[in-house]
């Protein structure tokens, strides 16, 4: 019997017409206000109408499946389920159960784990699989062999775009998706994971001047983890930094949080305050990256 692999990600609307339904699912069934919907549509329009995330994720899942097939022929059945956009992860989990799988491994396409992000994927998948299917959860995988080395090379590639005479006033800024501050009251280690992964990636890259920031905070009244990347950029400019290498280490593919929040919004602030900002290349379906994830699966299966 094959082992099931349930690869999970946030999801993105497939067409502009799907944005409202997608936003409603994110808001747990509450339709967004016209203002909130217009703001999200505006951001999608700025990157071409829809995000490339759906295709990027499909390519990543296919890459993981191909890598596992190469490493362990006929041993794994890889399927994708999304948190907020069909195919929903519950439906895919139920398909494993109905097909008679005894063992399923859960992998979220996010290197850091949190009670409000990856843990929710796992809880929903576990419930849909039911008690008769063994479910192995893969938590934070930023320490997976080769991952931080891959990030470090991306950082060095971006640094190569900055003139040598400005390297002394260049900083690398690692970022991840902000979450509400209330997770800190529960002892969530998500911020610690970001700090550790940034420190280790910088060390591998041979970078001394680096910092971390948070991005893409939700439009809610409660406070979110900071400092926000836009404020950090302004502060760096005041401190005499001339160039920033933006490394959104918490994201593994091109999507709204990268293509708009970094490439448009953060880039706009950088231009406003006189900073040159260069972003690291997204991982997407890089062969080395999907092989790293396939080996993460193998490590927990064996």
Task: Tell me what pLDDT residue 61 has.
Answer: 98
Nearest to 110 by CA among 193, 215, 14, 19: 193
pLDDT at residue 1 tops 90: no
Nearest to 13 by CA among 44, 38, 46: 44
Phi/psi at 27 (5° precision):
-90, 20
Q: Which residue has the tokens 């293509």?
A: 259
Average pLDDT over residues 22-26: 94
Q: What is the pLDDT of residues 163-175, one digit of tens each?
A: 999 999 999 999 9
Domain 3-141+285-301 top-level CATH class: alpha beta
User: Alpha-carbon distance 83 to 12, whole Å?
Assistant: 9
pLDDT at residue 220 tops 90: no
Q: What is the pLDDT of residues 262-298, one digit of tens each?
A: 999 999 999 999 999 999 999 999 999 999 999 999 9
Q: What is the pLDDT of residues 223-270, one digit of tens each?
A: 999 999 999 999 999 999 999 999 999 999 999 999 999 999 999 999
- The pair of structure tokens assigned to 200 is 């280790």
pTM of the model as a whole: 0.96
- The pair of structure tokens assigned to 135 is 């479910």
Q: What residue spans in the chain does CATH classification 3.40.50.1400 cover?
A: 3-141+285-301, 147-279
Query: Is CATH 3.40.50.1400 correct for 147-279?
Result: yes
Average pLDDT over residues 123-139: 98
Q: What is the pLDDT of residues 69-92, one digit of tens each?
A: 999 999 999 999 999 999 999 999
Average pLDDT over residues 149-167: 98
């Amino acid at each position: 019997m094959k082992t099931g692999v349930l690869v999970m990600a946030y999801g993105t609307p497939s067409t502009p017409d799907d944005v409202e339904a997608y936003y409603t699912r994110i808001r747990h069934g509450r339709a967004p206000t016209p203002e909130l919907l217009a703001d999200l549509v505006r951001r999608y329009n700025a990157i071409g109408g829809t995000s490339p995330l759906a295709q990027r994720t499909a390519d990543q899942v296919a890459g993981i499946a191909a890598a596992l097939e190469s490493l362990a022929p006929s041993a794994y059945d890889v399927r994708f389920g999304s948190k907020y956009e069909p195919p929903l992860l519950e439906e895919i989990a139920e398909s494993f159960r109905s097909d008679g799988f005894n063992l399923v491994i859960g992998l979220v396409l996010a290197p850091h784990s949190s009670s409000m992000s990856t843990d929710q994927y796992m809880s929903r998948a576990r419930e849909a699989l039911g008690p008769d299917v063994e479910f192995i959860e893969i938590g934070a995988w930023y320490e997976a062999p080769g991952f931080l080395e891959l990030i470090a090379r991306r950082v060095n590639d971006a640094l190569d775009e900055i003139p040598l005479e400005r390297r002394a006033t260049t900083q690398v800024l690692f970022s991840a998706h902000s979450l509400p501050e209330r997770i800190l009251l529960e002892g969530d280690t998500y911020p610690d994971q970001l700090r550790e992964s940034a420190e280790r990636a910088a060390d591998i890259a041979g970078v001394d001047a680096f910092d971390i920031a948070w991005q893409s905070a939700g439009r809610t009244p409660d406070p979110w983890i900071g400092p926000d990347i836009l404020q950090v950029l302004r502060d760096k400019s005041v401190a005499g930094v001339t160039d920033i290498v933006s490394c959104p280490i918490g994201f593994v593919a091109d999507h709204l949080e990268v293509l708009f929040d970094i490439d448009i919004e953060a880039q706009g602030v950088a231009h406003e305050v006189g900073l040159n900002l260069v972003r690291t290349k997204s991982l997407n379906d890089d062969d080395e990256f999907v092989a790293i994830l396939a080996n993460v699966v193998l490590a927990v299966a064996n």
